[in-house]
Amino acid sequence: PTASPTPTASPSQPAGSTRFTASVTTNPGQEVYVVGSLPQLGSWNPANGVKLTTTSGSYPTWTGSVEIPAGTAFEWKLVKVGNGAVQWENDPNRTGTGGTAFTVTWNQHQSAGDATVSFQVTASTIPGQHVYVVGDLPALGGWDPARGVRLSPTGYPVWTGELSLPAGTAFSYKYVKRTDSGQVVWESGANRTATATGSPTLTDTWR
């Protein structure tokens, strides 16, 4: 028999890749899961949820991803599991759609005074690279690419993500390409600027 061809590396995560980045403080022995209304999220059973991961360098930031068809609506919550106990977030269920990147904080929900900022950037990448938004706010990593908001390639080469900010917040930002090994490429030009008014969608092209 002839050898099967070696599959080529995909330039990005597939459409429908749904990424979660959560700021959660835990006790030793606890792990963080995303649990929700879809089978991919455990159908509200923490034992079958999506386990997030952290490192000594990124804690208390936990990350993980799961394949959910783009546009599929679902509800979800963060759950702490460990030491013989399961701890759910207190607030109402979060909502979302497949193919989106979510950046949230344990037990902090969007309030009436918050605006959802949507990022949409066209950027080509090489295998292993991902696109992040970094900026001058703590929620955007304080210009640290390792702590920026990771976007999802919902329709490669278009990368998208959402961030909740207090309404009226002005901020500066840029896009970066970063590999899992930490190699970073910044886009050129001056810092981009925006204000979180209403629910703005920032449509940009890598430069």
The domain limits of the chain are 17-105, 114-205
Mean pLDDT of the chain: 87
Tell me, rounded to whole angstroms, the distance of Cα 137 from its chain centroid: 16
pLDDT of residue 38: 95
CATH superfamily of 17-105: Immunoglobulins (2.60.40.10)
Average pLDDT over residues 154-182: 90
Residue 123 — φ and ψ, nearest 5°?
Answer: -150, 125
The domains spanning 17-105 and 114-205 adopt the same CATH topology: yes
Pairing of strands 129-135, 85-88: unpaired
Q: Is residue 88 over pLDDT 50?
A: yes
DSSP 40: G
CB atoms within 10 A of CB 92: 9
Closest CA to 106 of 21, 32, 24: 24
Q: Is residue 13 over pLDDT 50?
A: no
20 with 68: CB under 8 angstroms? Answer: no
| The two structure tokens encoding residue 80 | 């702490």
SS3 of residue 43 by DSSP: coil
91 with 107: CB under 8 angstroms? Answer: yes
Look at the domain 114-205 and name its fold: Immunoglobulin-like (2.60.40)
Closest CA to 140 of 167, 168, 164, 157: 164
Q: Which residue has the higher pLDDT, 168 or 44?
A: 44
Rounded to two decimals, what is the model's pTM? 0.55
Average pLDDT over residues 68-79: 89
